[in-house]
Amino acid sequence: MADYDEFGMLHENASEAGLVVEPPSVDRRWVDAPSGNRLSALVWGDGPPELVLLHGGAQNAHTWDTVALALGRPLVAIDLPGHGHSDWRTDGDYRPQAMATDITAVAEQLAPDAATLVGMSLGGLTALTALATTPGLADHLVLVDITPGVNQEKAAEIAAFVDGPPEFESFDALLERTMAFNPTRSRSSLRRGVLHNARERDDGTWVWRYDQLGDRLLDLDTQFLDLWEAVSALTVPVTLVQGGLSPVVDDDDVAELRRRQPSAEVIVVDAAGHSIQGDQPVELARILDGIAST
């Protein structure tokens, strides 16, 4: 397998999305977090970051690449603990409540003036927790296809993929499994995603970069329900961007969000599943640009 150049494929992202953009300024940074772990992030643009983006479980900061290209705004995309190039937690605890302090520290160091905090799935619940405990962290919270109402049934297909085999005999074997779980995505986009999210061992086998929970997989039916109180504690505007094809957020979740935050805005993106940033990145960028402009 050729050497991995994490920024060498951005032209593919732009081309597939129909974007005509100048070569971006983006580099990787590391921050020593309060937990003692080192967290990594991608810093886009030359000016003060305006947004902080948090990916979902079993993803990494590169999931936002096309969104970042389409936005054209300075921003920071953080690798959650145990994901991407960030350290794995020695306690194996990847609950939002356990990660929020580290994420807050990274955001405050790399993007102290960012007004918009965006989180998808597990990253969304982590962003929610961080902002509820540190109200000055951002002026607007964007939840991408997630609420504390997520449960095992709604996330069944996602869990089946994430908690799959711990290793693969080849890159092609890993890619084929990824394609089977993402039939609407192009092979080239999934190939990039796998290259960003996996690594080759010396013996030629491939493993994911993220820390698989395995037997530590927590019960989603009860794990996040207490985070509804964090929703109630928010003092900033909230926008939920919902995937029109995703089962993760249902009508009851939207109703509960609006009950606790009556001013919350809900935007449904048609033809998008749970990973809206992968299915409809330009549309998501348009939504985020509108929020960042207010």
Residue 277 contacts residue 60 (beta carbons within 8 Å)? no
Q: Are 69 and 13 in contact, with CB atoms under 8 Å apart?
A: yes
Per the listing, tokens 């990847």 go with: 94
- In the residue annotation, 32 being an active-site residue is answered as no
Marked catalytic residue, from 253, 274, 275, 279: 274
Known catalytic residue at 83: no
Residue 274 annotated in active site: yes
Residue identified by tokens 């609420």 is 147
Q: Which of 35, 40, 86, 121 is catalytic?
A: 121
Longest Cα separation, the chain? 55
Looking at 65, 79, 145, 279, which residue is catalytic? 145
First-last CA distance in the chain: 45
Looking at the annotation, which residues are catalytic? Answer: 121, 145, 274
